[in-house]
C-alpha cells in the first residue's frame, strides 16, 4: 500500500505541471544533505537479524525481506539465516525458498552464491529446505 502511494506521488511529481500564462515558476528548493547518519554493514546486519527474530506473521517477514533486499548490498549469512528461520516459524515454506532466490539475484557471481549455499547448508538440512534449482531441474 505504501509503495503504491509513493509510486503515485512520484508519478504525479514527474508530470509537467500546467502553468497559467503570466505566472512565474517558483524555484524548487532541495536539501543537499540529509541529517541521517549512514548505517554501517554491522548495524544493518544486527537490525535485520533482530527484526526477523521478532517477526510474528508472514506479512512482517515478507515486508522485512522486501526492505532488506531493497538495499544496495548482499545481506550477511546471519541475516539470511534469521529470515529463513522466521519464514519457517510462520510456516511458509515458499518464502523460505525465495530467500535463497533473493540472495542469488543480489550476489555478483555464481561463486559468491555457492559460498552462501555452502555456509547455510546445515540450516537448509535442519529445516528441510530444497532450493528452486533442486525443485525444478531443467531437462
Model pLDDT, residue 37:
75
Query: pLDDT at position 88, please?
Result: 96
The pLDDT of residue 33:
54
Residue 120: name the closest of 60, 80, 74, 68 by CA: 80
For the chain (139 residues), the mean pLDDT of every run of 10, in chain order, is 55 48 50 67 95 96 96 94 97 95 94 95 94 78
SS (H, E, C) the chain: CHHHHHHHHHHHHHCCCCCCCCCCCCCCCCCCCCCCCCCCHHHHHHHHHHHHHHCCCHHHHHHHHHHHHHCCCCCCHHHHHHHHHHHHHCCCHHHHHHHHHHHHHHCCCHHHHHHHHHHCHHHHHHHCCCCHHHHCCCC
Can you give the pLDDT at residue 84?
97
Q: What angle do CA 45, 50, 55 make, to 5 degrees?
A: 125
Query: For residue 38, what pLDDT is reported?
Result: 85
- Measured in Å, how far apart are the chain's first and last C-alpha atoms? 40
Look up the pTM and report it. Answer: 0.71
Amino acid at each position: 500500500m505504501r509503495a503504491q502511494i509513493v509510486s503515485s506521488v512520484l508519478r504525479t511529481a514527474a508530470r509537467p505541471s500546467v502553468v497559467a500564462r503570466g505566472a512565474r515558476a517558483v524555484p524548487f528548493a532541495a536539501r543537499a544533505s540529509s541529517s541521517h547518519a549512514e548505517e554501517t554493514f554491522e548495524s544493518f546486519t544486527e537490525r535485520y537479524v533482530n527484526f526477523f527474530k521478532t517477526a510474528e506473521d508472514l506479512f512482517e517477514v515478507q515486508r522485512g525481506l522486501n526492505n532488506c533486499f531493497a538495499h544496495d548490498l548482499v545481506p550477511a549469512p546471519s541475516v539470511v539465516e534469521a529470515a529463513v528461520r522466521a519464514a519457517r516459524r510462520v510456516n511458509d515454506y515458499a518464502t523460505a525458498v525465495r530467500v535463497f532466490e533473493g540472495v542469488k539475484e543480489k550476489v555478483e557471481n555464481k561463486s559468491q552464491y555457492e559460498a552462501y549455499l555452502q555456509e547455510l547448508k546445515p540450516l537448509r538440512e535442519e529445516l528441510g529446505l530444497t532450493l528452486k534449482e533442486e525443485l525444478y531441474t531443467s531437462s
